[in-house]
């Protein structure tokens, strides 16, 4: 009888001992200790929220957000700007941007630069390079600290196709001669456009391109690729992933160096044969990006066109081409 009581007592003791052990080793470490509750932090000092729940990512189900080669397609609602900015702030990066304003296109520069100041990588080191044949017409736009502008004077060119295409050669030279030792990323942008919303760290990647607003919902057979096999921008029927814009692309310096080198060489090779691709350098960019897949694709939020009615999937327009009268503004038709 005594033995029975001792055994039962020992059993009960062991049970509570194990329960205690379980509490201190499993339950206690899992408890989230709130520093605000503990009086160690003021509620106002809480970090801004990151992801809504550990492991849960924000997302969109109404648009394509991943390419077949697993590059993100950036739409509003697919990223957290606070998380992204904090990652790149810590790296102290510099972003270069090029914009060409030749002939009558100089009139677009003021709005482009003013809106760029408000929306393009605010809070980061930005160096804008303006290429123009009228340096004295470049408007003075007040820039925040860490941001600067350099004017590059280029000769007047009388064919818009040549102006548009010459950008490849000049961007290549800029990367080789001036940028390689201090800029991290570069974006090349059309001047006949304005910023309306954030264009920031979510757009950074090795090789970045923008879906053309006119072709992101059409079958690839309708893409205006260069279709003549004799051109180095040639795309065979069935080739191609997306149709990308010539008016905005970018990425790491070394990646944009490769793109501009290949595209300018191919453009030159075509010229020697007397051919100009259907959409000049845009056609060569599209060929390049078919062979060398972009690591990040930006949605048409990143280059819309003001004349187009807004589509329901566009929750924000970040950058958009202004309406212009081609016949009046271009040096030739
Ligand atoms: C939104 C978009 O993807 N636009 C592309 C599209 O037409 P776009 O109609 O947008 O071409 P565009 O007339 O804007 O020319 C492209 C750019 O070249 C510069 N420029 C042009 C003419 C001129 O007289 N002065 C001048 O400075 C300027 O920076 C302009 O933004 O197809 C072009 C093909 O050649 C380019 O690929 C453009 O980037
Ligand atoms: Mn344009």
Cβ atoms within 10 Å of 209's Cβ, excluding its own: 28
pLDDT at residue 44, as a whole number = 56
Q: Residue 312 falls within a domain, yes or no?
A: yes
Q: Residue 43 falls within a domain, yes or no?
A: no
Is 191 annotated as contributing to ligand binding?
yes
Q: For helices 253-272 and 160-174, give the axis angle rounded to 10 degrees.
A: 140
Q: Are residues 29 and 172 in the same domain?
A: no
Considering only CA atoms, which of 209, 200, 210, 204 is closest in space to residue 185? 204
Is 190 annotated as contributing to ligand binding?
yes
Instruction: For residue 282, indicate whether it is catalytic.
Output: yes
Report the residue among 170, 246, 260, 321 best suited for mutation to probe ligand 1: largest number of ligand atoms under 8 A from its CB.
246
User: What do you get for the CA distance between the two ends of the chain, in Å?
Assistant: 111
Cβ(113)–Cβ(120) below 8 Å: no
Q: Are residues 172 and 314 in the same domain?
A: yes
Three-class SS state of 147: strand
Which residue among the candidates 176, 282, 301, 313 is catalytic per the annotation?
Answer: 282
Q: Are residues 305 and 254 in the same domain?
A: yes
pLDDT at residue 7, as a whole number = 74
Q: Residue 320 falls within a domain, yes or no?
A: yes
Q: Whose CA is nearest to atom 18 of ligand 1?
A: 164
Using a 10 angstrom Cβ sphere, with 0-12 exposed, 13-18 middle and 19 or more buried, the burial of residue 316 is middle
Ligand 2 mean position, distance from CA 22 (Å) = 66
Matching residue, tokens 């992801």: 51
Q: Residue 139 falls within a domain, yes or no?
A: yes
Reported ipTM = 0.97
Q: Are residues 156 and 238 in the same domain?
A: yes
Helix and strand element counts for the chain (H, E): 8, 11
Q: What is the pLDDT along the chain (333 residues), one digit of tens a residue?
A: 465 666 766 667 666 666 555 555 545 544 555 656 676 666 655 555 555 565 566 689 999 999 999 999 999 999 999 999 999 999 999 999 999 999 999 999 999 999 999 999 999 999 999 999 999 999 999 999 999 999 999 999 989 888 988 899 999 999 999 998 889 999 999 999 999 999 999 999 999 999 999 999 999 999 999 999 999 999 999 999 999 999 999 999 999 999 999 999 999 999 999 999 999 999 999 999 999 999 999 999 999 999 999 999 999 999 999 999 888 888 887
Task: Work out whether the CA dihedral 185, 189, 194, 196 comes out positive or negative.
Answer: negative
Q: Residue 90 falls within a domain, yes or no?
A: yes
pLDDT at residue 214, as a whole number = 98
Q: Are residues 25 and 171 in the same domain?
A: no
Ligand 1 neighbours, Cβ below 6 Å, are: 100-103, 105, 160, 163-164, 190-192, 245-247, 279-282, 303, 321, 330-331
pLDDT at residue 103, as a whole number = 95
Ligand 2 mean position, distance from CA 318 (Å) = 15
Q: Are residues 14 and 145 in the same domain?
A: no
Is 105 annotated as contributing to ligand binding?
yes
Q: Are residues 84 and 194 in the same domain?
A: yes
Q: Are residues 12 and 121 in the same domain?
A: no
Beta bridge partners of 120: 199
Is 192 annotated as contributing to ligand binding?
yes
pLDDT at residue 30, as a whole number = 41
d(CA 159, CA 55): 53
Q: Are residues 24 and 110 in the same domain?
A: no
CATH number, domain at 256?
3.90.550.10
Q: Are residues 186 and 310 in the same domain?
A: yes
Ligand 1 mean position, distance from CA 47 (Å) = 43
d(CA 78, CA 318): 15
Q: Are residues 200 and 289 in the same domain?
A: yes
Indicate the number of domains in the chain.
2
Ligand 2 mean position, distance from CA 92 (Å) = 31
Atom in ligand 1 nearest the alpha carbon of residue 213: 1
Report the residue among 135, 187, 190 best suited for mutation to probe ligand 1: largest number of ligand atoms under 8 A from its CB.
190
Beta bridge partners of 128: 97, 149
Q: Are residues 24 and 159 in the same domain?
A: no
Residues spanned by the domain of 22: 2-33
């Amino acid at each position: 009888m005594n033995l029975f009581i001792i055994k039962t007592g020992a059993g009960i003791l062991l049970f509570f001992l194990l329960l205690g052990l379980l509490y201190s080793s499993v339950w206690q470490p899992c408890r989230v200790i709130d520093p605000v509750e503990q009086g160690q932090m003021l509620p106002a000092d809480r970090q801004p929220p990151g992801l809504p729940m550990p492991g849960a990512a924000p997302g969109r189900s109404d648009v394509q957000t991943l390419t077949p080669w697993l590059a993100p397609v950036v739409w509003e609602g697919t990223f957290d700007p606070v998380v992204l900015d904090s990652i790149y702030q810590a790296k102290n990066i510099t972003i270069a941007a090029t914009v060409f304003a030749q002939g009558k296109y100089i009139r677009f520069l003021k709005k482009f630069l003013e809106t760029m100041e408000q929306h393009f990588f605010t809070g980061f080191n930005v160096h804008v390079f303006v290429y123009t044949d009228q340096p004295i017409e470049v408007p003075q736009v007040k820039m925040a600290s860490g941001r600067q502008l350099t004017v590059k004077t280029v000769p007047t060119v009388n064919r818009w196709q040549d102006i548009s295409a010459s950008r490849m050669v000049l961007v290549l030279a800029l990367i080789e001669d001036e940028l390689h030792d201090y800029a991290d990323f570069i974006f090349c942008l059309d001047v006949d456009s304005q910023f309306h919303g954030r264009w920031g760290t979510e757009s950074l990647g090795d090789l970045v391109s923008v879906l053309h607003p006119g072709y992101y919902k059409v079958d690839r057979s309708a893409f205006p690729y260069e279709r003549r096999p004799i051109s180095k921008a040639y795309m065979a029927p069935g080739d191609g992933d997306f149709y990308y814009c010539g008016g905005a692309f970018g990425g790491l310096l070394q990646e944009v160096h490769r793109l501009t080198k290949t595209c300018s060489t191919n453009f030159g090779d075509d010229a020697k044969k007397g051919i100009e691709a259907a959409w000049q350098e845009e056609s060569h960019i599209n060929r390049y990006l078919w062979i060398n897949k972009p690591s990040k694709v930006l949605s048409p939020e990143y280059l819309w066109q003001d004349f187009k009615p807004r589509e329901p999937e566009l929750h924000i327009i970040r950058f958009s081409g202004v309406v212009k009268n081609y016949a009046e503004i271009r040096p030739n038709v």
